[in-house]
Every structure is written in structure tokens, then in C-alpha cells.
Structure 1
Amino acid sequence: MTTPALASAPRRSPLRPWSALAQATHAAFDPEGFFQARVRRDGDPFRIAVPGLGAVLLTGHPEGAEQLFAAPPATFEAVPRNPVEPLLGPGSMILLDGERHRAERKLVMPALHGDRMRTYGAIIQDAAAEALAGVAVGEVVDVQRLTQAITLQVIVRAIFGVEDAERRRAVHAAVVALLDAYTAPLMLVPGLRRRLAGLSPWAQFERARARFDVLLRDEVAARRQTGGGGGGGEDILSLLLGLRYDDGAAMSDDAVLDELR
């Protein structure tokens, strides 16, 4: 990568294996403290060594994020054994690279036009206003919980397009359970991904993921059966069900699930 701000990242010698493990452990159990400490020491961006991934460049600066989003897709390669793959699925667009990534972008991006994006913007505004309506001036709030509540409302409405109140509650609960189960230690320390007779945190995550997938497959099947898969809705699920590859084929259920997670 040759963009100015990110290219100026510190060039430190590779960390010894035990140092990489210590970093991953610190980041897994105290991510905020770890990142703040590294920014104070090394500035932003900085590099860390993650077991199983190698060197990873991290930035929390708006300029760095802008450069990442604006860079040509060919600048980057997908990370092997990506920490979020168990959560998102192997076919998620953000985990792909090369020709397959270009094919998925070609399929999806034209549908994300200005009018649709403005609709999503309005949904985000409404969700934020609804969440903030119950907050009094001067009240101390848990920002993480508040923003999570906003995000979940956006997921249910903009991504899944669920209108039925009972169904919304079910999707909301499934998303919360899935995100709560995939903790930072599981994400950053692959050695913890063991079932241990179904009693481990990893087994709990697998059960949450299975429940979420069942809910998604039921929703996809219902949309296809009722003709709601023609792309007429404004939500992401309707968009995906209405897309067609160059040969006229629709996305498979597995492909839709990987993009929805």
C-alpha cells in the first residue's frame, strides 16, 4: 500500500511469537485499552502481529479509513483465515478478493444507487432519533449500548425489511445473541475455537449462529414463496433476492446468507 498516511506506519522488526500471542491476548480481553496504549506509543496507524494472520496494519483515523475505502480493490488481498469469517461466512464480499470479489461487486453495487442509499439514510436517522428520544439532557448514557440499539434497528429494517412486530423481535434477539456470543477472544485467538463437549464459548457461538441461520433461511424461503424476491423492496434482502448474474441465475440461499450476516 502506497497511500501517504498509511505508508508512514512504523516499520518495526517482526515480533517474536510469544510477543504476538501476548498482543493478541491483550487485544482480545481489553481491546480498547490495548489500542489506546499502542496509539500513544506508536501513533496511528500502527502494526501488530496476530497469530495465524501475520502483520496487520490498524488505523482509527478518519483519513486512514478514507484512504482504505477509496483505494482500488486490487490494492488489497483477502486475509487468509480472517478472524471474522466464522461470523460472516466464507462467501461474504468483504472477505473475497480477485475475480470473485469483482464479480460480486459488479452484481451488487449498481443496485445501491442514490435513491436507495437515501432511503437507508432516512432509516438510520429515524432509528437514531427514536433511540435518543428517551435520553434526557445531561443524562449519562452507555454510548456502546445506545449505538448498538440504533444499529440493531437499522439491521432489522434496512437489511431484513421485517415489518411484523413479532418477527422483528425474533430477528433482534437472534442478532444480539450472535454478536454477544462471538467475543473478542474467540475472534483473535483461534485456539479457543473448541467445542469441549458443547460447553465452551465456541459451542455457544455455534448454536447462536445456527439459530440465526435458521431464521434467515426461513425469511429467504418466505420471500421467494410469496414473490418478494423480485427486488421490489428497499431492504438489502429484497435487493439480493432480485439480483441476477450474467447468465440469468439468481443468488443461492447460501450466498444470500453470507452477504446478510
Structure 2
Amino acid sequence: MKLIPRLKQSSIQQKFQWVAKPDKYMDSAVKQAPDMFIADIAGEDGYVFVNHPEAMRQIVTSDRHKFFASSKNNDLLRPLVGDNSLILIEGDRHKQRRKLLLPPFHGERMQTYSKLICDLTHNIISQLEPNQPFIARQVTQEISLQVILEAVYGLQDNQRSAELKQRIAKLANIFESTLTSAFLFFPWLQQDLGAWSPWGNFVRQQKAIDEAIYQELATRRTQDNSQRQDILSLMMSAKDEAGEGLKDIELRDELMTLMLAGHETTATAIAWALYWVHRHPEIKTKLEAEIASLGADPAPMEIAKLPYLDAVCKETLRIYPVAMLTFPRVVQEPTELMDYKLETGQVLMGCIYLLHQREDVYPEPLKFKPERFLEREFDPYEFFPFGGGKRRCIGEALAKLEMKLVVATIIAQYDLELIDSKPEVPVRRGVTLAPKTGVRMMFKGKR
């Protein structure tokens, strides 16, 4: 068996580069070790970054006695989502919670959410001023947040919804730069030095959101919510096999997870898609023609089935995946992975970014080419934007639906153009990869 390669840079150099320029860190590392390497970015032993499809398959399909999905290596998310989030619970408790939460994100309810997504997109985009510049990611964040508030919370566009939306946006935007993202990676920076300090601001915004959530839960507990279709109502009515529902603290943490992990990632993915489509006019033309082929006023779920639209969204999620890494797995006993020796306690991370950049899987990986998803079908361990196995993203169906419908609605109904001729580059935004400028665009008006 072979030893897993270590990188040449010191642990301190690696950690700072990982936080400051994660894409450059991974691009450099894969040149030293193509399939897997030890990333000295946390703890004494670091993490094992893996990007070979076969290794990814083994990691996510092996039972817990070989590779255990441990939440302790996701501790940097704890301040954001709380101790009771699906992201941070383990074992049987995670299995039961996932089973409880899956139904609201699948089936016929997607039909209800689809019209809501299209309507919200129209409402928000139509408020832009003609011939005025705007930041695409700010607009997509507003759309995604409103989807969360109405589809997840069941809050209509009223004063309470507006206040909560403003609070959530402020909380998420605290970590929009590399500098402030560092607060998640270096716990000694997490000092409340007053409302003016980044962490102090975070604590206060989070407290205000908590008050709003608990007030909403208390109100719902006094009402008959049996006819409501929003995800919060469905979560509150769900019962496990023992007849137990979720406690308020558990509901709070799951709502924070959906708000931050859900709206943040989707907003970024849509902004990237708008960038790529407008960067390549021939792709935009093909997309417009495909949407137009459905005729006037097509049903949202018909739009979502369009193959080229699907390919554009997949290629967007491939080239710069918003989530760079999979859920960590801890080695439970000495074993091997593709002839590499693994020791008990080592932490494995599937590296989605590097997997999606493999030239043996995706020829010309730096080229935005939606056609690759029409020419062949990639297996689940080659295309991995939502993770895999028991830790696959629970909101995947809603996220994909939202991405397709927002992009299609904007492309079919509105004229936008990019302001910058320079290529957009990825930068760290919290634990994700986002466009550096947010994608600067000009709104030309309704088509």
C-alpha cells in the first residue's frame, strides 16, 4: 500500500491559502497529488482530500463501520446553524431526522413551489430600473430569500417577512468577504467587541432572527396548520415512529440551516448561471429558443424538464461548484482506498471542486460547455454538486427547481447584459465559492 502524499507547503501556509484563495490552493495541490492528498489545514493530522470518482464512490457508499460521517469536523458551521441541525447530528439520530424532513422537499409540493418561484422572480426583476447597473448576486439573493420565506416559512410579502428577510441577508452578508469568512475558520477571532465588530454584529443579527423564529413557532402552535403547505408547517406536523415531533430548538436549527445553507448556495448558483449564459451569446440564443419552443405561458414544471436548460444548470454547478467539499467521513479502522493506506481517525473529504475539474472526466474542464451533459450521462460519483450517500443535500430537488425556473424566467422575459468584459473569478464566501464581483450587469428592460 502507498502512503497518501503530503503537500510541500507548511501547515500555516496551507491554512491561510485555503481560507484566502481556496481554488488556487486546490489547483496547486492537485498538481502535486492528482487523486488524493493530505491537506494540513486543520488539527494535527489534517484532512485527506479525495477527488477520484472511484474513491468518492467508496467513501459515500461504505457503511458507517468503515467510514463514519462525523459532524465534529463541521464545527465551523455550528455558530451558523446550531447544535441540532441535520448537518451536525450523527448516526441514528441523523437517520431518523432525515427521514422526518424529506417528505416536504419532494413530490407534488414541488408543483406548488414552482409557480411561486416564477412569480417571485417576475416581481423582483421587474422592480429594476431600465439601463441601470445592478449586482446579479444581490438580486438572486433577494429572490432566493423570498422563496425561503414563502415556501419554507409560509410568510407572505408583509412587514414581518420584510424584517426577517433583511435580518437574514445581513447575517449571510457578514461573511461575504475572505477577511470576514476567516472568522469561521479561526475561533479565536469570534469575539463580541460590540455591534460594530463583525462577530458582534453576527451575534446581534442572529439573536434578532431567533426572536422572530420563536415568535412564529409560538403563533403556529396555537393554530390549525393542517391545510398549510409551507415546509415549516409540514415540519411541525411531522412525527417520528414513536409519535414525537421536533422541539422548537430543533425546528429553529433546521430553519437556520435551510435559510443559510439553502438560500446562500442557490443564490450564488443562479448568479453564476446568469454570468455564463450572458458570457456566451450562443448559449443564450440556444436557451431562448428552447424556452420559446414551449409556446406562450408554459407550465413551470414543463420548463423545468427542458434538456438544454438542465445542461446549462449542471455545467454551472460543475465548473465552479458552490460547495467545494463533501461531508467529512472518519476512518473507523485501518483500511485502504485505491491502494492508499488509511489509519483509524483520519478524516476524508471528497473534493467536489477538483472532481469537477478532472480532465479525464471532463475534457477541457475550464471551458463552459453545457453540451457535455447532453453528449453523455455522468455517474453520481463524477458529478457531485449536492454530495452523496446519506449526507446528500436534503434540499436538492427544491434548489434545482429554483435554479432552472429563475434562470429560464429571466432569460425568456428580460434583457440583461454583462458590464465587465473581464472573466469573473471565484472567491471564498463563507464556506462556499462565489463570483468575486457578484456579477455586475445592466438591466435593459422587459423583452
TM range (shorter): 0.7 to 0.9
Cα distance in 1 for residues equivalent to 2:63 and 2:158: 39
Q: Which residue does 2:235 correspond to in 1?
A: 240
Structure 1 segment 86-105 matched on structure 2, within 5 A: 86-105=79-98
Match of 1:38 among 2, 26, 40: 26
CA shift in 2, pair 1:177/1:50, >3 Å: same
CA shift in 2, pair 1:199/1:129, >3 Å: closer
Q: Which residue does 2:72 correspond to in 1?
A: 80
Match of 2:112 among 102, 116, 119: 119
Structure 1 segment 121-140 matched on structure 2, within 5 A: 121-133=114-126
Q: Which residue does 2:13 correspond to in 1?
A: 22
Q: Which residue does 2:390 correspond to in 1?
A: none
Q: Which has the larger radius of gyration?
A: 2
Q: Which residue does 1:218 correspond to in 2?
A: 215
Match of 1:51 among 39, 42, 46: 42
CA offset digits 1:128-159 (Å, max 9, x no partner): 34444456899764232232122211111111
TM-score, scaled relative to structure 2: 0.46
Any idea what SS the aligned residue of 1:84 has?
helix
Note the C-alpha offset of 1:14.
Answer: 5.9
Q: Which residue does 1:251 correspond to in 2?
A: 246
Cα distance in 2 for residues equivalent to 1:42 and 1:26: 14
Q: Is the 8 A contact 2:217 2:248 kept in 1?
A: yes
CA offset digits 1:211-260 (Å, max 9, x no partner): 110110001111111233x4x32222111111112222221100100110
Structure 1 segment 147-226 matched on structure 2, within 5 A: 147-163=140-156, 165-182=158-175, 183-196=180-193, 200-226=197-223
What is the total number of aligned residue pairs between the two structures?
242
CA shift in 2, pair 1:14/1:40, >3 Å: closer
Any idea what SS the aligned residue of 2:168 has?
helix
Task: Work out which structure has the larger RCO, using CA pairs closer than 8 Å and 6 or more positions apart in sequence.
Answer: 2
CA offset digits 1:75-131 (Å, max 9, x no partner): 651331521111011111122221111010121223433111232333333333444
Cα distance in 1 for residues equivalent to 2:61 and 2:133: 39
Any idea what SS the aligned residue of 1:226 has?
coil
One-letter code aligned to 2:232: L
Q: Is the 8 A contact 1:50 1:56 kept in 2?
A: no
Moved more, 46-55 or 207-216: 46-55
Segments of structure 2 that go 5 or more residues without pairing to the other structure are 257-447
Segments of structure 1 that go 5 or more residues without pairing to the other structure are 1-10
Any idea what SS the aligned residue of 2:102 has?
helix
Moved more, 104-113 or 241-250: 104-113
Question: Greater helix percent: which structure?
Answer: 1
Cα distance in 2 for residues equivalent to 1:146 and 1:27: 28
One-letter code aligned to 1:55: Y
Q: Is the 8 A contact 2:210 2:252 kept in 1?
A: yes
Cα distance in 2 for residues equivalent to 1:200 and 1:189: 15
CA offset digits 1:179-230 (Å, max 9, x no partner): 12344111222221122467642222111111110110001111111233x4
Q: Is the 8 A contact 2:117 2:147 kept in 1?
A: yes
One-letter code aligned to 1:208: Q
Q: Which residue does 2:350 correspond to in 1?
A: none
Note the C-alpha offset of 1:55.
Answer: 1.2
CA shift in 2, pair 1:76/1:159, >3 Å: farther
CA shift in 2, pair 1:14/1:248, >3 Å: same
| Fraction of identical pairs, as percent | 27
The alignment's C-alpha RMSD in Å is 3.7
Cα distance in 2 for residues equivalent to 1:122 and 1:58: 39
TM-score, scaled relative to structure 1: 0.75
CA shift in 2, pair 1:208/1:115, >3 Å: same
CA shift in 2, pair 1:177/1:72, >3 Å: farther
